[in-house]
Structures are given as C-alpha cells and as structure tokens.
Amino acid sequence: MELTERTFRQIASLMHVVCGLSFADSKRPLVSSRLASRIQKLGLRSFEEYLTLIETHDTGGELQTAVDLLTTNETYFFREPAHFALLEQELPKLGKRALSIWSAACSYGDEPYTLAMLLADLQMQGRVGAEWSILGTDISDKVLTAARDGVFPEERLRSVSPDRLKRYCLRGEGDSAGLVQLKQTLCERVRFGWLNLCNEIEQLGPFDAVFLRNVLIYFDPPTKVQVVRRVLSQLRPNGLFFVGTAEGRIAEIANLRPIMPGAFRKVAE
Ligand SMILES: C[S@@+](CC[C@H](N)C(=O)[O-])C[C@H]1O[C@@H](n2cnc3c(N)ncnc32)[C@H](O)[C@@H]1O
C-alpha cells in the first residue's frame, strides 16, 4: 500500500481543516505508518479508500480515530514539575476566593488530576479556600472516556510523592495489579468536556490558570496564534498561562510576561 503525495496532501488538508493539525511533506512516512495498520484492520485496500471513509462516510468515529493515530496522547502526572511548583507558590497569593483552572488539551487526565492533587493539598494546608474546580478538555473522546474513569497505569504516577499516592490513590490488586484508581473525592473535583481548540469557544472561564501544554506543536504558525489568543481570552488578567517548554516563542503572540520556560503571566490590559 502506497501513500501517494496527492492522497497525503488530501489527508493533511482534511486534518488541518478539522482540527488544525499541520503535517509538513516530511511527515508523509509517519502518516503512512500510523494509518496503514488501521486501514488493514478495517479491511480496506488503500489510503484512498480510507480518505473517502473519513471524509464523507463517517464524520464521527473514524475521523476521530485518525486524529488519535496522528497525534500523540503521551502524558503523565506532574510532567514538567517546575510549572506545578510555580502554581503552588502563586495560588495562595489569591487568598481564599474561588479558584478555577483549565487543562486545555488534557489527554487521559493526568494533568488535570495533578492539578486536583495540588489544590487539594493547598486546601488541606489552609493556603487556599475550599471552593476550587478543574476543567479538562480534549478533542479525543477516547482519552476523555478514560480520564473520567480515573484509572491509570502505575507507571504514569511515577512522579507522584508517596504521601500523595496514599492520600489520593488506591492500588489495584489481582486482575487490577499495576493499575491505580484515583479516590472519588479527588475525581469529583475535575470536570471533563470535549473541545476542539481550532473552533470558536463559548465562554468557559474566566480561569486563574490555563495549561495548554504539548499541543501547540501540532499546529502551523497561524493556527498556533489563533489558538493561543482564543485560549487566553478565557484567562483572567494576571492569570498564569503554561505551554510545553519546547513550544516556541509564545510571548510574542500576545500580551504575556515570561516567568520561566513555558510559564507566563497574562499582562493586565
Ligand atoms: C501530548 S497530549 C498533551 C497532554 C497534556 N497537556 C500534557 O502536556 O501532558 C496532546 C493532546 O492534544 C489533543 N489535541 C490535539 N489537537 C487538538 C485540538 N485541535 N483541540 C483539542 N485538543 C487537541 C490530543 O488529543 C492529545 O490528547
């Protein structure tokens, strides 16, 4: 099965229109290898047949599967710990008012649940009030379903301290060995919803902090600018904004003051 340049361009263009994903010509082998086994599994004979399926015959499930195959959902608890340390230091300065944080491409939920552990600890220490909430959104239904279950392979919690593991997690036994179930009290502080960052978004905030980490890498420069501006419109003035540390020169896109790699403060207008 060969992915011709023409079909590659058509698939890349569909992915760009639907969810802003950007694939340079050099990504043709990657797209080919990621979709090939799916095509065989479906009993199709060519990339062209697959394109027809995702383009016209199926606007939901299979297109979604293609997006999942072409992006990575890689994530884990306390990824880039300096960002969480900064948040831990900054949030208590806001006093005991209600706090709200958004994880805007949350994948399997590791990031919003990390935030929930952090906020629950701050509340326990009396450093923030009891009224706080976390929102996690993603374009993939598959990851959102898993996130709502709150069950994770132990390995993804490798950076969670033993104290927190004890407070917020239950270790699986027997058939569930190697898995961790988050406690209900933690899960209920996190809401999940489907959201495509490349579409206009309704009013969700204002948030005190927004995490938009490790997703901008998929977008071309104009899409990246639009997504950052759209997301920032939901952040309070002086709110904290986080991206992946390798995701480029974000401060030039909007009115942001750099604090550390990947962390910014929205400048009040
Ligand atoms: C690598 S994960 C990042 C997870 C987490 N933020 C972290 O840093 O660990 C990237 C996520 O972005 C999601 N994604 C890709 N394009 C998107 C879009 N247009 N709108 C919303 N989410 C998107 C993918 O489904 C994937 O779950």
The mean pLDDT value of the chain amounts to 93
Extract the tokens encoding 26.
Answer: 């050099």
Q: pTM, whole model, 2 decimals? A: 0.92
Which one of 15, 139, 145 would you pick to mutate in the ligand 1 pocket, going by the greatest count of ligand atoms within 8 A of its CB?
139
Could you count the other beta carbons within 10 Å of the beta carbon of residue 99? 20
Q: Which active-site residues does the annotation give?
A: 34, 138
Which residue's CA lies nearest to atom 9 of ligand 1?
75
> Nearest Cα to 232, choosing from 221, 257, 248?
257
Instruction: Give how far Cα 259 sits from Cα of 231, 237, 243, Å.
Output: 19, 15, 12
Q: What is the pLDDT of residues 137-179, one digit of tens each?
A: 999 989 999 999 999 999 999 999 999 999 999 999 999 999 9
**Alpha carbons 128 and 26: distance in angstroms, whole number:** 48
Extract the tokens encoding 24.
Answer: 């340079």
In this predicted structure, the answer to whether residue 32 has a pLDDT above a threshold of 60 is: yes
| 3-state per-residue secondary structure call for 17-54 | HHHCECCCHHHHHHHHHHHHHHHHHCCCCCHHHHHHHH
In this predicted structure, the answer to whether residue 37 has a pLDDT above a threshold of 70 is: yes
What confidence score (pLDDT) does residue 61 get?
77
SS3 224: helix
Q: How confident is the model at residue 57 (pLDDT cuts 50, 70, 90)?
A: low
- Return phi, psi of residue 267, to 5°: -75, 135
Ligand 1: residues within 6 Å at CB?
19-20, 71-75, 79, 105-107, 111, 138-140, 143, 195-198, 213-215, 218
- Return phi, psi of residue 248, to 5°: 95, -170
Question: For residue 74, how far is its CA from the centre of ligand 1 (angstroms)?
Answer: 9
